[in-house]
Amino acid sequence: MNLRDLRYIVAVADLGHFGKAAEVCHVSQPTLSGQILKLEQLLNVKVFERIGKRVQPTAVGLEILSHARRALAAADEILVAADASRDPMVGELRLGVIPTLAPYLMSYLLPRAAHVLPAAPLVLVEEMTRHVMARLREGQLDAALIATEPDSDRLEQRELFDDPFLLAMPGSHPLAARENIRLSTVDPCSLLLLAEGHCLRDQALELCSNARVATAAADVRASSLETLLHLAAAGYGVTLIPSLAWEARDSSGGRLVARPIAEKRARRRVRLVWRRGLPRAAALETLAQVVRDSAPACVVKLGFERIAAE
């Protein structure tokens, strides 16, 4: 077993096709197929099975691929460590960002990052939290911007800023006349939520615990905050929106207003996380500072303390 064979099976898993994987790996298809067959014979298991015209991992193949990705990431980090020993500020930084942050923060972050880290361009991957964290664990990302507590993995984290929630609603809504809104006054049956899998949905449900009743009555599975805002503007209900997103919103024809939430707990904490011991930690520390400093005035910026999630 060698790293080359592991790269072959990861390529096949990612592309679902032996021919395309061979092209990416710059070998002939018979060569790639033969090496994977030898690996399967060595392990005495089938890594892949054919479903119609596609190739997909077997159950044990999925487990093998998870280990393969970590092994390849560790091998890559050897090279990164060597490069970092010369200059940790040089080379791409692969950054995962959740969808409820990326569209609203990147316009502030990218110009400043290009200025402060000119030799470390950001490569952005926008995915939901669970996917971003999986990629981070497997070494496909160097760091991630998330808005929830990280899981129990051994991660470094820097808490950057708090993003207060607002309640967005049509200007004609009865609550629009108030300067701020108490969550207890929000009708749970009127609360519009993102689809399952978005951390912002979970945060809204936690803040408005009675809203769980509404999810069955209102069959809305929006995949973006923009959709929620347009639904609210059309009179379908109200929605919680982070201040960062409201700051960068489409005005929706002026039909929407947003009011602060009275409860101080109605906010999300944005943090940068990365695997502990990463050779380019110095660059990520700088990136954390850049993210915090570039965020607009609508958020509450935090002072740094060294935090390690056990």
Considering the domain architecture, whether residues 67 and 194 belong to the same structural domain is answered as no
Averaged over 72-81, what is the pLDDT? 78
pLDDT surpasses 70 at 212 = no
Considering the domain architecture, whether residues 253 and 177 belong to the same structural domain is answered as yes
Considering the domain architecture, whether residues 211 and 73 belong to the same structural domain is answered as no
pLDDT of residue 50: 84
Q: Model confidence over 215-232: pLDDT tens digits?
A: 433 456 688 888 888 889
Instruction: Report the SS3 class of residue 239.
Output: strand
Considering the domain architecture, whether residues 100 and 242 belong to the same structural domain is answered as no
pLDDT surpasses 80 at 81 = no
Which CATH number covers residue 296? 3.40.190.10
Q: Between 18-25 and 29-43, two packed helices, what is the crossing angle to 10 degrees?
A: 110
Considering the domain architecture, whether residues 137 and 277 belong to the same structural domain is answered as yes
Residue finishing a domain among 57, 82, 107: 82
Averaged over 228-238, what is the pLDDT? 89
Domain that holds residue 300: 88-161+269-309
pLDDT surpasses 50 at 306 = no
C-alpha 207 chain-centroid distance: 21
Averaged over 174-184, what is the pLDDT? 92
Considering the domain architecture, whether residues 194 and 282 belong to the same structural domain is answered as no
Kindly state the percentage of the chain with pLDDT values over 90.
Answer: 58
Query: What's the mean per-residue pLDDT of the chain?
Result: 87
Note the helical H segments in 149-300: 199-207, 214-217, 225-233, 243-247, 281-294
Considering the domain architecture, whether residues 142 and 275 belong to the same structural domain is answered as yes
- What are the backbone dihedrals phi and psi of residue 208, each rounded to the nearest 5 degrees, phi first? -115, 75
Which CATH number covers residue 32? 1.10.10.10
Q: Model confidence over 104-155: pLDDT tens digits?
A: 999 999 999 999 999 999 999 999 999 999 999 888 899 999 999 987 668 9
Cβ distance 138 to 69 under 8 Å?
yes
Considering the domain architecture, whether residues 113 and 178 belong to the same structural domain is answered as no
Where does the pLDDT of residue 255 fall: very low under 50, low under 70, confident under 90, or very high at 90 and above?
confident
Considering the domain architecture, whether residues 151 and 206 belong to the same structural domain is answered as no
Residue finishing a domain among 219, 236, 260: 260
Contacts of 244 (CB under 8 A, 6+ apart): 101, 104, 105, 163, 295, 296, 298, 299
Kindly state the percentage of the chain with pLDDT values over 70.
Answer: 89
Considering the domain architecture, whether residues 19 and 58 belong to the same structural domain is answered as yes
- What are the backbone dihedrals phi and psi of residue 275, each rounded to the nearest 5 degrees, phi first? -70, 135
Domain count, the chain: 3
Considering the domain architecture, whether residues 141 and 280 belong to the same structural domain is answered as yes
Considering the domain architecture, whether residues 174 and 291 belong to the same structural domain is answered as no
pLDDT surpasses 80 at 237 = yes
Where does the pLDDT of residue 23 fall: very low under 50, low under 70, confident under 90, or very high at 90 and above?
very high
